[in-house]
A = this chain, B = another copy of it.
Amino acid sequence: MPSPTPDPARRSDRARSSILSATRERLAEVGYAKLTIEGIASRAGVGKQTIYRWWPSKGAVVFDAILDASLGPDGSTTLPDTGELEADLRTVMRGIVGELADPATDRMQRAVLAELQLDPPLATELLERLLRPQTDAFADRLCRARDAGQVRDDLDPSVAVELFLGPVFHRWLLRTAPLDEAFADRVVEHALAGLAPR
């Protein structure tokens, strides 16, 4: 009888990483909509069953493929803290805008985002493992600013973070207008004004 729950200890690392690489390659080549398990398996030189054994869905593979690529060094995230709040936020926001505007990552990001809408459990996991560290870091920086008296003292970090990220993300997502550093700067300016000490 084949084991219904495969033993992770015996998992082949070669297979795993070639599947994730192949996924990223196919994703870049044909896009998410035309991505197929068979295509990944054949590119990775792997049997389909080896994919089905370890991942429950196409979305999960893609998700892991992207996670695998993002998590370069250790996974910890911190924002710069030079004391100059507005300058620091500008740096971060410009970085985000730059990444979103990069055509190479754009396609992949949209693919994952699309998948997230249709697969809530996946959304939750990605939220916790990728997004949460970033928003937490953002919130941390704002809390330090609050302790330094640079923003109002009744600051709600979870709301404040969205004041910064929301506009940028909204514009990227819906393509309502060009997404550039000037826009990032203006968002920082206004959001910060909205958080100013009374």
Across the interface, A190 reaches (CB within 8 A) one of B1, B116, B195, namely B195
Residues from chain B with a CB closer than 8 A to the CB of A42 are: 1
Residues from chain B with a CB closer than 8 A to the CB of A14 are: none
CB atoms of B171 and A187 under 8 A apart = no
Number of identical protomers: 4
Q: Which of A71-79, A82-90, A156-164 contacts B (4 or more CB under 8 A)?
A: A156-164
Q: How far is the CA of A113 from the CA of B117 in the complex (A)?
A: 8
Asked if A69 lies at the interface with its beta carbon under 8 angstroms from chain B, I say no
Residues from chain B with a CB closer than 8 A to the CB of A194 are: 163, 189-195
Asked if A124 lies at the interface with its beta carbon under 8 angstroms from chain B, I say yes
User: Could you list some 14 contacts between A and B, CB below 8 A?
Assistant: A1-B38, A1-B39, A32-B118, A110-B117, A113-B117, A114-B114, A114-B115, A123-B175, A132-B176, A163-B187, A166-B167, A170-B170, A190-B191, A193-B195
